[in-house]
Amino acid sequence: MIEAELSRSVQRWCPGATGVTGAAKLSGGASQETWRFDITHPDGPIGAILRRSPKGYGAAPTRAAGLAAEAQLMQLAYEAGVPSPRVMHVLTPDEDLGTGFIMQRVEGETIARKILRDDAFAVARPLLARQIGGVLAGLHRLPQDKLPELRSRNATQEISEFDRDYRSLNWPKPVFELALRWLRDNDPGPSAETTLVHGDFRNGNLIIGADGVRAVLDWELAHLGDPMEDLGWVCVNSWRFGEIDKPVGGFGSREELFAGYEAAGRRVDPARVKFWEVMGTLRWGIMCGGMMQRFREGPDHSMERAMIGRRASETEIDLLRLLAPRGG
């Protein structure tokens, strides 16, 4: 059904396009959907991806940058040579497709466990930690005067926001209290420099090919803040998928990540990176609690959501490993 609207759309902005085929929904929450499809073109089919909020879902959650900002950021990244899909078209109201954008499909793998285990990525894997450092350096250098309007958050504001989120769950967890205390005691304050922060840069949000990182996805949590936040988040144990001795997404070491970042001309502050890793671990734990709450209160009474609630304890053991490591 969506193919009719998509066909009309592509014929307007893609010269030579005659229609679309193979539209399939890849993922969809209530407010955001991702579709894949092929544009029929005399030069051969063009792989494309639609990211949209269907009609009637205008309001984005408070932390999200919004699809228009996401499209703008991806386009800026693409132009600056940061691996990113090319944005082909931003939806207009008369196309009847909701709000969002269409981008060129980048082939590769996003499933973290496959990237960490399949032979196809054996050559790329040992290079990824360093490469990711370079990609983040490029991302943090995107020209600020061209950025869309984004929320701005420093460490102190983030701590109080997570504190509030945690308390709203009414879910007393001594380990989370300990982490909140540690974060307050170790708050590094405003960073010397404020840059674009991707906000969800991790294994699972990257398209990886045999040659390495091909695209950075999911810019919806992009904001202005401490660039070290992205370096800390990519190291959170939850994104190592079992390869716990390789902090950077299960690929490699912090040293390689830092070397890649600094080789691209930017400075690393390891203490800040550690702060954001602790913050990120707690952040995912609180998100698990949010899943539990939504499971209980509906409307999504799914088993998956219930089980994600039970994953908060994973972040508790990781927080203890960070804050109260046992000898040896």
Q: How far apart are CA 27 and CA 70, in angstroms?
A: 17
- Could you count the other beta carbons within 10 Å of the beta carbon of residue 127? 16
Residue 319 C-beta: closest distance to other proteins, Å: 9
Q: What tokens does 134 get? A: 């370079």
Rounded to 5 degrees, what are φ and ψ at 324? -140, 55
- Nearer to other proteins among residue 57 and residue 171 (C-beta): 171
Could you give the count of Cα atoms lying within 13 Å of 252 in the half-sphere of its Cβ?
A: 20
CB distance 208 to 251 below 8 Å: no
Residue 242 C-beta: closest distance to other proteins, Å: 5
- Nearer to other proteins among residue 193 and residue 304 (C-beta): 304
Residue 27 C-beta: closest distance to other proteins, Å: 12
- Nearer to other proteins among residue 144 and residue 302 (C-beta): 302
CB distance 257 to 239 below 8 Å: no
Residue 314 C-beta: closest distance to other proteins, Å: 5
Residue type (1 letter), 138: G
Q: What tokens does 183 get? A: 């974060």
- Nearer to other proteins among residue 18 and residue 160 (C-beta): 160
Strand ranges (DSSP E) for the chain? 19-28, 33-40, 46-53, 87-90, 99-104, 195-197, 206-209, 212-216, 223-225
- Nearer to other proteins among residue 73 and residue 175 (C-beta): 175
Query: How far from the centroid of its chain's Cα atoms is residue 181's Cα?
Result: 26
Q: How far apart are CA 223 and CA 211, in angstroms?
A: 29
Rounded to 5 degrees, what are φ and ψ at 218? 50, 70
Residue 261 C-beta: closest distance to other proteins, Å: 26
- Nearer to other proteins among residue 151 and residue 311 (C-beta): 311
- Nearer to other proteins among residue 55 and residue 184 (C-beta): 184
- Nearer to other proteins among residue 211 and residue 304 (C-beta): 304
Q: What tokens does 82 get? A: 């940061």
Residue 42 C-beta: closest distance to other proteins, Å: 35
- Nearer to other proteins among residue 62 and residue 170 (C-beta): 170
- Could you count the other beta carbons within 10 Å of the beta carbon of residue 41? 16
Could you give the count of Cα atoms lying within 13 Å of 139 in the half-sphere of its Cβ?
A: 32
Q: How far apart are CA 318 and CA 240, in angstroms?
A: 12
Residue 182 C-beta: closest distance to other proteins, Å: 9
Residue 95 C-beta: closest distance to other proteins, Å: 30
- Interface positions with other proteins (CB under 8 A): 172-178, 180-181, 237, 242-244, 303-304, 306-307, 310-311, 313-314, 316-318, 320-321, 323-324, 326, 328
Residue 116 C-beta: closest distance to other proteins, Å: 12
Q: How far apart are CA 89 and CA 31, in angstroms?
A: 20
